[in-house]
Amino acid sequence: MIRAGTPATGAGGRAPRGARPHRRRRPRRSFLISRENAMPLITAERRRTLRADVTASLVVFLVALPLCVGVAVASGVPAELGLITGIVGGLVTGLLPGSSLQVSGPAAGLTVLVFTAVSEYGLAALGVIVLGAGLIQVVLGALRLGRWFRAISLAVVQGMLAGIGLVLIAGQLYALADAKAPGGGLADLAGLPRLVLTTLTSQHALLALAVGVGTARLIAVWPRISGRAGVVPGALVAVGAATALTALLDLPISRVEVKGLLHAIQPPGLSDAARLADVGLAATVVAFALIASAESLFSANAVDRLHSGRRTDYDKELMAQGAGNTVCGLLGSLPMTAVIVRSSANVRAGARTKLSRVLHGVWLLLFVAFLPQALSYVPTAALAGVLIHAGWKLIPVREIRPLWRDHRGEAVILLVTAAAIVTTNMFEGVLIGLLLAVVKTAWAMSHVHISVSDSGIGAVRVRLTGNATFLRLPRILDTLEALPRRHVELDLSGVRHLDHACMIALQGWADERNAHISQPAAEAGAPGGSAAAGTAGGGAGTARGPAAPRPKGPPA
């Protein structure tokens, strides 16, 4: 049977030879689209997003420009290296996933550490140090350890920033007067009286001081300016005004030295890489990696609070920071972190996507390519004013008083960490702060309350509440050993945690007490009792508390 509309087929359903199969004609597609139904290539929403990102990128560029140069000068390296790090932060880290609105570049928080490393190991070793730190960050991110940086005590972080701010201010006070800092937190602080006397007797130093103080003062009052002028970054306005004033009056003060971008780039060689075998240099690499990672991830946490968009992936952000530092190390430039000043400016300027931070790197690259000589007109005292203002903002002045009132232990950790950084160095100061935070937490977690109820007749009732750990063991044993020689009921129902040391000590106390109390006295007590009788209940996270020790022998 042959169906209508189909060619005849032979055996097996195949068409006979010579028969041409019927092909249905496909309707011709029309490529004419009416204007009413056409979808524009760029929607109105995309145009608004693009406009917001471009505007925000210009604002971030204007904020980043003086900071990049100032951080580099304060770190004792050519000014171009700070701009290179800013460019890498935009074009490399800015393109990678992690945080969408966070902006990276050279940070004032690492200025002290970089200055110390360059002074001790030389500028040639900076690339190896930054390269090693970047690779460590990539490995930490790949191992998904980025989230663990959030476990660091906030008091340690605030103390670290306060210590950095103090050391930064102390060092930049010398640059404010066109003087050379002795180097080191204590040395800089000790030399301040001599600096004051030298400045008061030098007209050159007084001129530089006036420019620097005026710059810092203008940055501080600029946010109060209303209207459109307030959108322009205060640091740029202050540095621009100081530069113009210095040029017009031809003031005899120091200015930024510019040697060219290609001259500043110094990739590390094999001989520099071999220096990683030095224990001190290797410790510096680890310090760079840990401090840069902590600062970047804490900044990410702060930036996430400023917007309602996509949250930061800490592991990916750590890998992105590591990739940027790896490139910076290969170029021999400064290390990078996520900078809260630029990031908050990016959010406030209305940025919506990562395009804004990428474009800010493009603007920095164009500036370095076409206008590098413009930096030679900038007075170093003005940059010192910018960094003094940045250092002052690192010190949590307003938080110290309420913290001391409500959480005195945390305030002590903050102050000790800051003082340790000033008196030693960044790495050792942070380690001291972390150790103190761990000790404080262990002491707080081992808090135990001992209440004794003795009516003079019958058993003495002792109740322990809290966490019975070895840290409080001397107090517990002193209290128990001072009890009268009568039957004792020890209630452990309120103990949330009983460690092995306390359990063994209570067992030994019960055994010793049983050995010294006679059998008649024991029989006069509660029958079937226990020298360390405890009841269950009140455990933290479970339905039962720690088991009470049950000594052998008759009750005490």
Q: What confidence tens digit (pLDDT) does each residue in 175-203 have?
A: 888 888 777 677 888 888 898 998 888 88
Find the mean pLDDT for residues 152-169: 81
* Res. 33 pLDDT band, cuts 50 70 90: very low
Q: What is the pLDDT of residue 145?
A: 86
pLDDT for res 548: 43
Transcribe 182-232 into DSSP letters.
-SSHHHHHHTHHHHHHHHHT-HHHHHHHHHHHHHHHHHHHGGG--SGGGGS
% of the chain residues with pLDDT over 90: 17
Q: Average pLDDT of 196-220?
A: 90
- Residue 501 pLDDT: 87
Q: Which residue has the higher pLDDT, 147 or 48?
A: 48
Q: Which of 1-15, 151-165, 188-202 has the lowest mean pLDDT?
A: 1-15
CA distances, 142 to each of 4, 173, 315, 327, 393 (Å)? 66, 41, 7, 18, 33
pLDDT of residue 1: 42
Comparison of pLDDT for 533 and 176, the residue scoring more: 176
List Cβ neighbours of 93 (8 Å cut-off, separation of 6 or more): 104, 320, 321, 323, 324, 336
Q: Which residues contact 75 (CB under 8 A, 6 or more apart)?
A: 82, 106, 110, 111, 114, 115, 118, 334
What is the per-residue pLDDT for 136?
Answer: 95
Spatial distance between the Cα atoms of 387 and 172, rounded to a whole number of angstroms: 7
pLDDT (mean) for 306-324: 87
Report, as an integer, the average pLDDT of 345-370: 88
* 498 CB burial (10 A radius; 0-12, 13-18, 19+): buried
Given this model, what pLDDT does residue 231 score?
62
For 451, the enclosing helix (H) or strand (E) is: strand 448-453
pLDDT of 369 higher than 50: yes
**In this structure, what token pair is assigned to residue 220?**
């501080």
Query: pTM of the full predicted structure?
Result: 0.67
Interior/surface letters 248-279, b for 16+ CB within 10 angstroms, e for the rest: eeebebebbebeebeebbbebeeebeebbeee
Of the pLDDT bands very low, low, confident and very high (cuts 50, 70, 90), residue 335 is: very high
Mean pLDDT of the chain: 79
Pick from 166, 87, 74, 98: nearest CA to 386: 74
What is the per-residue pLDDT for 29?
52
**For 234-264, what is each residue's pLDDT tens digit?**
778 888 899 999 989 888 888 888 777 777 7
Read off the pLDDT of each residue in 260-283 and give the average, rounded to a whole number. 82
pLDDT at 60: 86
More reliable by pLDDT, 365 or 391? 365
pLDDT more than 70, % of the chain: 83
Question: Which pLDDT tens digit goes with each residue over 94-143?
Answer: 999 888 888 999 987 788 789 888 988 888 889 999 999 999 999 999 99
Reading the block at residue 359, the tokens are: 């474009």
pLDDT, residue 391, reads: 81
Q: What is the torsion angle, in degrees rounded to the nearest 10, for the CA atoms of residue 430, residue 436, residue 438 and residue 439?
A: 160
Residue with tokens 């800015």: 94
447-514: CATH number: 3.30.750.24
At residue 499, the pLDDT reads 85
pLDDT at 542 over 60: no
Give residue-wise pLDDT tens across range 452-508: 888 777 788 888 888 888 888 888 888 888 888 778 888 888 888 888 888 898 888
pLDDT tens for 397-422 read 888 888 888 888 889 999 999 998 88
Instruction: Region of 390 please: left (phi>0), alpha (psi -120 to 50) or beta.
Output: alpha
Residue 21: the pLDDT is 55
For residue 469, count other CB atoms closer than 10 A to its CB.
Answer: 20
Kindly list the distances between the CA atom of residue 253 and the CA atoms of 51, 180, 495, in Å, as whole numbers in the listed order.
Answer: 41, 14, 69
Arithmetic mean of pLDDT, 350-375: 88
Residue 534: per-residue pLDDT: 38
Q: Which two tokens stand for residue 121?
A: 């190991």
Mean pLDDT of the region 162-174: 85
- Kindly tell me if the per-residue pLDDT of 386 is higher than 70: yes
List the single range of 163-177, 187-201, 314-328, 513-527 with lowest mean pLDDT: 513-527
Answer with the residue of higher pLDDT: 184 or 204.
Answer: 204
Q: Where are the alpha helices (DSSP H) in 75-125?
A: 79-91, 111-121
At a CB cut-off of 8 Å and minimum separation 6, what does 359 contact? Answer: 53, 54, 57, 58, 61, 90
Other beta carbons less than 10 A from residue 283's beta carbon = 12
**Using CA atoms in the order 515, 516, 519, 524, what is the torsion angle rounded to 10 degrees?**
-120
Amino acid at 13: G
Q: Which of 78, 86, 101, 71 is nearest to 367 (CA)?
A: 86
Alpha-carbon distance 284 to 351, whole Å? Answer: 36
Asked if residue 130 lies in contact with residue 325, where contact means CB atoms within 8 angstroms, the answer is yes
**Cα separation, 48 vs 352, whole angstroms:** 10
* pLDDT > 70? residue 73: yes
Q: Measured between alpha carbons, how far is 308 from 329 in angstroms, rounded to an integer?
A: 34
Distances (CA, A) of 298 to 104, 439, 449: 13, 23, 37
Distances (CA, A) of 555 to 148, 362, 410, 525, 552: 49, 82, 45, 8, 9
pLDDT value, residue 22: 55
User: Across the beta sheet with 460-468, what order do the strands follow?
Assistant: 448-453, 460-468, 488-498
What SS3 class is residue 337? Answer: strand
End-to-end CA distance of the chain: 108
CA atoms within 13 A on the CB side of 426: 28
pLDDT higher than threshold 80 for residue 451: yes
pLDDT at position 528 over 70: no
| Domain boundaries for CATH 3.30.750.24 within the chain | 447-514
Given a cut of 60, whether residue 546 has pLDDT beyond it is: no
- Residue 6 pLDDT > 50: no
User: How deeply is 208 buried, as exposed, middle or buried, from its count of CB atoms within 10 A (0-12, 13-18, 19+)?
Assistant: buried
